[in-house]
Chain A
Amino acid sequence: MAVLLLAEVTDGALALDATAKAVTAAAALGDVTVLAAGASAAAAGAEAAKIAGVSRVLVAEDPSLGHRLAEPTAALIVSLAGDYEHIVAPATTDAKNVLPRVAALLDVMVISDVTAVVDGSTFERPIYAGNAIQTVKSSDTKKVISFRTATFDAAGDGGSATVETIGAAENPGLSEWVEDKVAASDRPELTSAGVVVSGGRGVGSEEDFKLIEGLADKLGAAVGASRAAVDSGYAPNDWQVGQTGKVVAPDLYIAIGISGAIQHLAGMKDSKVIVAINKDEEAPIFQVADFGLVADLFTAVPELSEKLG
């Protein structure tokens, strides 16, 4: 029983945390082969070879694979699919773009956002924004799965997998990359940060979001935002935590001025310790918080920044 795992490679660099978490999930299914695909992917492949639990790495370098376009990446995976019973990836936007295409080309169902492996065909996944957990059993001969990384621990290092170079599949030539607009930041990446400080609509403005950012920088944390804050223009969309944004599970999650709509809770309720600061004592966020503080964030957050510094 062999597993093909699509590594998360962006501009030649391996997203180690997401990939290593998917390796942990995949190792429960069988022997793990990692596919590192990109315009340049050799360095990413070499790094993936060191993840404990990886037995083989395939490196595919081709200009067509450079910008994670769905069509050439799916074509490559389908060309390799014969050798594998499971085709998996961390549940990133890239994987969610590619895997359903792979599944349809193989005439199987995709199983998205898996949070637990019961056995080789049976998996748990959240539905209704995490308000219910469904266990599904696949009758397909091949299983195409994305793993929600927040619920798996990252596999360690110390692996020494063999690395092979393979060619790309024929590029269907249906789409072309134009540009990426990636927010430059010195902060840790939201989905893999140990601490996340998030602001909501209660923060009130883009300027006042600096308070949230200040506390985050004090703690070496990533900055998050509720959908309400994003919709109000206080924070960019790539900070959004929730059903429609990113799912995070840091060791410490500090929710400031966030009421706790179901859609936000879906994105952070697996955090180990949750702190909520809100002036409304009825805010639903307090129902999931380990530590709640009813206070005006404009006085509490600067004080917290100072006392944690």
Chain B
Amino acid sequence: MKVLVPVKRVIDYNVKVRVKADGSGVDLANVKMSMNPFDEIAVEEAIRLKEAGKADEVIAVSIGVKQAQETLRTALAMGADRAILVVAAEDVHTDIEPLAVAKILAKVVEEEQPGIVLAGKQAIDNDMNATGQMLSALLGWSQGTFASELDIDGDTAKVTREVDGGLQTISVKMPAIVTVDLRLNEPRYASLPNIMKAKKKPMAEKTAADYGVDTTPRLEVVSTSEPAARAAGIMVGSVDELVEKLKEAGAV
């Protein structure tokens, strides 16, 4: 069984984002970029499936700007076998919408015929939480979102999902799309020898046009702004003073 893992190049989660002065978006020039943290968990899970003998090949795919090849190299260094880069934008500030990404991924799935697609539950840039579900819809496959446990057994997979009230376990028919949540695993660091080896692993380069997918956005970004700042608060010196202030404010 092949495992397909879509990975996204996003601003590193430790970097403080800055809104551009002209309100056109967030400044991504000369900012540290990394693999979306949820996608790292997906790559890790795919490698573990291979190590457990449940998968034969792990294919990482990224859709975006040419620089996403660095993100794919990270996936290869972690242990993915090969990579597919789909160049769909030239400017690093262009975010390809989940619907277009899902359409391209659906074509990649047709070509590669994986038994499962493991994806991050959301990207930490646009926070849309949509690509996995959309891909599942386009393929007519089952979906198991927000997974904290995954157990593949032949034609079905048991997926334990992080939901508002606690956990839900469902059984999905394979092939399936599973989107992963934080507690599924802890991704490994790539070792230096593996980083070197990753440079020799195959990476195919395609374009959105190769798949005949129109990536024109459906959502026009009208403006991007800083969130409203909270008014400065006060420091209190004791619990008594805190209780007094809370009573004054009518909060208790």
Contacts and interface: CB of A to CB of B under 8 A. Distances in A.
Contact of A288 (B98, B138, B221, B230): B230
Contacts of B19: 132
Q: Helix, strand, loop or mixed for chain B's interface?
A: mixed
Nearest to B146: A93
Nearest to B166: A182
Contacts of B173: 173-175
B234 interface: yes
B126 interface: yes
A176 interface: yes
A94 B164 contact: yes
Interface in B163-216: 163-173, 181-183
A180 B168 contact: yes
Interface stretch (A24-32, A34-42, A55-63, A299-307): A299-307
A73 to B, nearest CB: 11
A97 B133 CA distance: 7
A299 B179 CA distance: 43
Contact of B166 (A96, A181, A219): A181
A304 to B, nearest CB: 5
B164 to A, nearest CB: 5
Interface string A278-309: 00000000111111111100001001100110
B99 interface: yes
Nearest to A111: B219
A239 B182 CA distance: 14
A109 B97 CA distance: 8
A133 B127 contact: no
B21 interface: no
B185 to A, nearest CB: 13
Interface stretch (A122-130, A159-167, A205-213): A122-130
A43 interface: no
A132 B15 CA distance: 13
Interface in B126-150: 126-138, 140-146, 148
A149 B193 CA distance: 48
A243 B124 CA distance: 9
A10 B165 contact: yes
A237 B184 CA distance: 12
B245 A238 contact: no
Nearest to A183: B166
A139 B220 contact: yes
Nearest to B99: A109
Interface residue tally on B, bucketed by range: 35 or more
Given A104-B134, A219-B252, A97 B145 contact: yes
A138 B218 contact: yes
Interface in A115-144: 122, 125-140
Contacts of A139: 218-220
A47 interface: no
B224 A131 contact: no
Given A97-B143, A134-B224, A128 B124 contact: yes
Interface string B103-132: 000000000000000000000111111111
A175 B16 contact: no
A180 B170 CA distance: 9
Given A109-B98, A175-B173, A289-B233, A132 B166 contact: no
B138 A293 contact: no
B235 interface: yes
A133 B227 contact: yes
B216 to A, nearest CB: 9
B11 interface: yes
Contacts of A288: 230, 233
Nearest to B100: A109
A269 to B, nearest CB: 7
Given A112-B130, A183-B165, A252-B251, A122 B222 contact: yes
Contact of A174 (B142, B148, B158): B142
Closest 3 CB pairs of A and B: A174-B142, A100-B133, A104-B134
11 contacts: A93-B162, A96-B145, A98-B133, A101-B136, A122-B222, A126-B227, A128-B17, A138-B219, A176-B171, A181-B169, A293-B236
Given A98-B133, A182-B167, 18 more contacts: A104-B137, A105-B137, A111-B219, A133-B227, A134-B223, A136-B219, A173-B173, A174-B172, A175-B143, A178-B171, A180-B169, A227-B182, A252-B252, A262-B16, A273-B249, A275-B246, A291-B235, A304-B239
Interface of B: 11, 13, 16-17, 19, 26, 97-99, 102, 124-138, 140-146, 148, 158, 161-173, 181-183, 217-227, 230, 233-240, 242-243, 245-246, 249, 251-252
